[in-house]
Chain A
Amino acid sequence: MAGLNSGLRRVAEVQQKHAKKLLVVVLILTLFMAAGLPNLKLQTDFSKEMPQDLPITKLNDRVADTFSGQDTMIVLLTLDDDADAATALRDIRDQSVIEYLTVLEDSLKSESDVVDVVSPATYLRGVPITSNEMLKEIITTTPAGAFVSDDYETMLMFVSADVGAADEKIIALDSLIRDKVESAPKPPGVDVMVTGTPQIMVTLFDLLGQDALNTIIYASIIILILLFIIQKSIVRGIVVFTPLVIGLIWAYGTLGWLDIRISIATAGLGAIILGLGVEYGAFMLNRYREERATKTQLESLQIAVPSIGRAIMGSGVTTIVGFLALTFSVMPMLQNLGFSLAIGIFYSLLAAIFVQPLIIVFREGFMEKYNKKKLEKYKTKVNRRRK
């Protein structure tokens, strides 16, 4: 304990003596970590978040490999209740709907990523249909019937595609299907929707990215306001918040460099790190200010850094341990969550102990110079007036 104390005391001395140089080092390190940010990827494939060595996971992988990892997208044709009563269809088993499906089916089948398209039109090709009544009868007696809902309001088309878990491919195919759906001549009073597991994954992909960013923004705004209120100063609030942001950049940068994907479990990582890490910096600044009221800058740092450093290390280590315990889970998603959070808290600790004092010293030096300049300007102004 004494060794830690004297070590942190020495750190405080170096921080006070070489604040600017060390800030440059921090800046370079932060830039290096920030360079890992573009490598960050989102993990929307739920199956990758589950234990990979389970027999069921392996079986499903074999099935996916055998059947080319086909994913089924669903094109849903449904009667539009709000459509003009005079022209709108009242039964989806209509020749115009089958014609639409045939055109759509042919158009989709011409795409290389589309493995197969199945709809009632598949079973009715080459069958001479002269009336809707005849169509209804044929639909009832062939497998096409399975594609029509019991209330005859909805009809289905399955589009099998070889997109796997590649998000870009899913997005591209989704927009392709939507384009085709729009370009084919749609029967009056019929709504066409596209859904299915791949589309849900695309939506998840979008939401995950948005949420990962938005939750950080929301947490930042509220924590900043809280800091402004508690510190009774905007500048001091920013002094506490800056190392937190640096810690966050380091954490996300590390994830990027280590190729750990942001998943459903880790998308809220930033907000949690901000919420838990803010106390470290707040304690450090408060203690420094308490000491600074009666002591020199160096003396204040020599007291604040070791005493608060030890306290927040104790507190941070327990938090990190709680998070690291998650790495003992069998679920990859929890392992990543535990590791990512532990990294985040570790960096918040480092930033509070090693970076925040530098910002405090730099800010004090800056304010001193600024005040000096202001005073000199004021003096010159007064002297001019006197002359």
Chain B
Amino acid sequence: MKNPLHIYSHFVANHTLIMLAIVVVITIIMTIGSGMVGTKYMEERDIIPENLPVIQAYDLFANSFGSDTTLMIVIELDPEHIGSDEVRDVRDPRVIKYLNILTEAVETSKQVESAASAASLLKSFNNGVLPQSQREIIELSTNPLMDQYIGSKYEMTVLRMRLIDVENTDETTQIVNDVQDVIDQIEAPPGLSVNVGGELAVGPIVTDLVGPDIQRILSVSFALIIIISFLVFFSFRYGIPPLAVIFIGIVWATGYIGFLGIDLSAQTSGTISMIIGIGIDFGIQITNRFREEIAKLAPEAAMELTMNNVFVPMFTTTLAALIGFRAMSWGQLTFFGEFADIMTYGVTACFLVAITLVPVVLVQGEKIWAKIKRTPQARKASMLIKRNKEVKK
């Protein structure tokens, strides 16, 4: 019985166009999947297993009272002109009045369970009536509860919002934008800087950074790998096939990830660059060996021998790498599972591209190169052969 590896090596070396067609079809499908990969923000509690008591207790709290994830409006003193009537103390009645309007406005939002500010506390201390004079405000502000809302130097005050549990990044972005709209619509007293703050406000900003960050890392990664690939081979002809592994490998990997509905977070966005670093190796190994064999053999025979020799070591090293990644997923933190999954898909995709596309590129490249390198006489002869064939037809 023939060795299955030898059967495959023979097939891939001698049926390059069929292999190319298969690779093209898979790549087209995976390109669609790649477009489905989104970005997301991961919080601490997203990476901890849900069956832990502390998380179960937190879930009970979130279900009963909304989330404790802090979203706040931060009001800071920011006077621009000396001697102007700009606010110099957040206990200024204008600020309290402004805070009261803000509090009532954000409370109308569907996602806000409740909102609390210095204004709402002062009202509760004053039988539901907002104190109008600074003297009254200062007197009532001595209550220790106010320490959570007004800074000790009276330079900052916060409006804290408790939210209905936000499920995903889109919802987070929505609520942050809604709060920003409220801030934009209500005119603040002069000399104040008003911003959306809190842990929750970080999410949309970091999520927006993930895309450009991946692009930056990939650009650097590709540039360095291209330089190395050409330095290793000192040749464009042999420098390009290994690059095919990472270009197509990344498309296949991200396509698969996209079809599975996995979004990239700030934590997992680095996997793509890691996959490139590991995946390029497969292409280099095949190209290196092929280059040795092509000196003695025809392209098809050289590729068959190459595949027979490099497949097992490549498979073994891939297996060892995958073991390393899978071991990560056996950790308790759920983040490791996702990280390991993406690395596994990526390295496997690069391995598959290396054993399917690289032989095609190398064999076909060798044939094209042989044609280009022919002498003018040989090219003329080739044209004559072609013309004769057409006349006969």
- Is the pair B217, A67 in contact by a Cβ cutoff of 8 Å? no
Question: CB within 8 A of B325: which of A62, A272, A326?
Answer: A272
- Is the pair B158, A268 in contact by a Cβ cutoff of 8 Å? no
**A293 to nearest B CB, angstroms?**
19
| Given known contacts A63-B72, A219-B323, A204 and B269 CB-to-CB distance under 8 angstroms | no
- Is the pair B228, A74 in contact by a Cβ cutoff of 8 Å? no
Question: CB within 8 A of A204: which of B44, B198, B284?
Answer: B44
| Given known contacts A195-B58, A279-B320, A326-B270, A218 and B148 CB-to-CB distance under 8 angstroms | no
Residues of A within 8 A of B275 (CB): 322
Residues of A within 8 A of B56 (CB): 193
Q: Which of B284-337 contact A (CB under 8 A)?
A: 284-285, 288, 313, 316-317, 319-325, 327-328, 330-333, 335-336
Residues of B within 8 A of A200 (CB): 44-45, 48, 54-55, 58
**A166 to nearest B CB, angstroms?**
16
- Is the pair A60, B199 in contact by a Cβ cutoff of 8 Å? yes
The dominant DSSP class at the A interface is helix
- Is the pair B339, A50 in contact by a Cβ cutoff of 8 Å? no
- Is the pair B156, A156 in contact by a Cβ cutoff of 8 Å? no
Question: Nearest B residue to A109 by beta-carbon distance?
Answer: B144
Question: CB within 8 A of A199: which of B54, B224, B274, B332?
Answer: B54
Which of A23-31, A132-140, A334-342, A350-358 touches B? A334-342
- Is the pair A193, B228 in contact by a Cβ cutoff of 8 Å? no
Of A57, A67, A202, most buried by chain B (CB within 10 Å of CB) is A67
- Is the pair B273, A66 in contact by a Cβ cutoff of 8 Å? no
Residues of B within 8 A of A216 (CB): 327
Question: Nearest A residue to B282 by beta-carbon distance?
Answer: A315
- Is the pair A268, B340 in contact by a Cβ cutoff of 8 Å? yes
**B254 to nearest A CB, angstroms?**
16
| Given known contacts A66-B156, A318-B284, A195 and B323 CB-to-CB distance under 8 angstroms | no
Q: Which of A12-35 contact B (CB under 8 A)?
A: none
Q: Does B21 contact A (CB under 8 A)?
A: no
- Is the pair B232, A314 in contact by a Cβ cutoff of 8 Å? yes
**B10 to nearest A CB, angstroms?**
26
- How distant is the Cα of A341 from the Cα of B278 in the complex, in angstroms? 12
Residues of A within 8 A of B322 (CB): 275
Which of B131-139, B182-190, B201-209, B367-375 touches A? B201-209
- How distant is the Cα of A46 from the Cα of B43 in the complex, in angstroms? 8
- Is the pair B333, A74 in contact by a Cβ cutoff of 8 Å? no
- Is the pair B316, A279 in contact by a Cβ cutoff of 8 Å? yes
Residues of A within 8 A of B224 (CB): 321-322, 324-325
- Is the pair B217, A328 in contact by a Cβ cutoff of 8 Å? yes
Of B60, B151, B319, B343, most buried by chain A (CB within 10 Å of CB) is B60
Q: Does A118 contact B (CB under 8 A)?
A: yes
Question: CB within 8 A of B320: which of A54, A66, A275?
Answer: A275
**A174 to nearest B CB, angstroms?**
9
| Given known contacts A193-B57, A211-B336, A264-B267, A314 and B284 CB-to-CB distance under 8 angstroms | yes
- How distant is the Cα of A194 from the Cα of B56 in the complex, in angstroms? 10
- How distant is the Cα of A314 from the Cα of B280 in the complex, in angstroms? 11
Q: Which of B237-279 contact A (CB under 8 A)?
A: 266-267, 269-270, 273-278
Q: Does B11 contact A (CB under 8 A)?
A: no
Question: Nearest A residue to B214 by beta-carbon distance?
Answer: A329
B156-198: contact bitstring with A at CB < 8 Å (1 yes, 0 no)? 1010000000000000000000000000000000000001011
Q: Does B213 contact A (CB under 8 A)?
A: yes
- Is the pair A329, B332 in contact by a Cβ cutoff of 8 Å? no
- Is the pair A63, B61 in contact by a Cβ cutoff of 8 Å? no
- Is the pair B324, A272 in contact by a Cβ cutoff of 8 Å? yes
- Is the pair A226, B320 in contact by a Cβ cutoff of 8 Å? yes
Number of A positions contacting B (CB below 8 A): 93
Question: CB within 8 A of B327: which of A116, A222, A324?
Answer: A222
Residues of B within 8 A of A226 (CB): 319-320, 323
Q: Does B124 contact A (CB under 8 A)?
A: yes
Question: CB within 8 A of B331: which of A60, A268, A279?
Answer: A268
- Is the pair A271, B328 in contact by a Cβ cutoff of 8 Å? yes
**A348 to nearest B CB, angstroms?**
11
Q: Does B74 contact A (CB under 8 A)?
A: yes
- Is the pair B270, A271 in contact by a Cβ cutoff of 8 Å? no
- Is the pair B148, A276 in contact by a Cβ cutoff of 8 Å? no
Of A78, A160, A318, A330, most buried by chain B (CB within 10 Å of CB) is A318
| Given known contacts A118-B145, A271-B325, A322-B274, A207 and B48 CB-to-CB distance under 8 angstroms | yes
| Given known contacts A76-B61, A326-B217, A223 and B68 CB-to-CB distance under 8 angstroms | no
- How distant is the Cα of A271 from the Cα of B151 in the complex, in angstroms? 47
**B95 to nearest A CB, angstroms?**
15
- Is the pair A211, B270 in contact by a Cβ cutoff of 8 Å? no
- How distant is the Cα of A146 from the Cα of B145 in the complex, in angstroms? 15
- How distant is the Cα of A180 from the Cα of B307 in the complex, in angstroms? 68
- Is the pair A215, B330 in contact by a Cβ cutoff of 8 Å? yes
**B83 to nearest A CB, angstroms?**
26
A272-300: contact bitstring with B at CB < 8 Å (1 yes, 0 no)? 11111011001100000000000000000
- Is the pair A203, B65 in contact by a Cβ cutoff of 8 Å? no
Question: CB within 8 A of B336: which of A56, A267, A278?
Answer: A267
- Is the pair A154, B60 in contact by a Cβ cutoff of 8 Å? yes
- How distant is the Cα of A72 from the Cα of B74 in the complex, in angstroms? 18
Q: Does A343 contact B (CB under 8 A)?
A: no
Q: Does A197 contact B (CB under 8 A)?
A: yes
B50-90: contact bitstring with A at CB < 8 Å (1 yes, 0 no)? 00111111101100110010001010100000000000000
Known: A160-B148, A211-B333, A272-B343. 15 other contacts (CB 8 A): A66-B151, A116-B144, A116-B145, A149-B64, A208-B333, A219-B327, A265-B270, A278-B317, A322-B274, A323-B273, A323-B274, A325-B221, A326-B270, A330-B213, A334-B217
**Which 9 pairs of residues, A with B, have the shortest CB-CB distance?**
A322-B277, A275-B324, A211-B331, A219-B327, A325-B221, A195-B57, A193-B57, A149-B64, A268-B328
A sample of 9 cross-chain residue pairs with beta-carbon separation below 8 angstroms, ordered by A number, consists of A63-B158, A74-B68, A196-B68, A264-B333, A265-B267, A317-B228, A319-B281, A321-B225, A325-B276
- Give me the interface of A with B, judged by CB distance under 8 Å: 44, 46-47, 50-51, 54-57, 59-60, 62-63, 66-67, 70, 72, 74, 76, 78, 115-116, 118, 122, 143, 146, 149-151, 153-154, 156, 160, 193-197, 199-204, 207-208, 210-211, 214-216, 218-219, 222-223, 226, 230, 264-265, 267-268, 271-276, 278-279, 282-283, 311, 314-315, 317-326, 328-331, 333-334, 337-338, 341
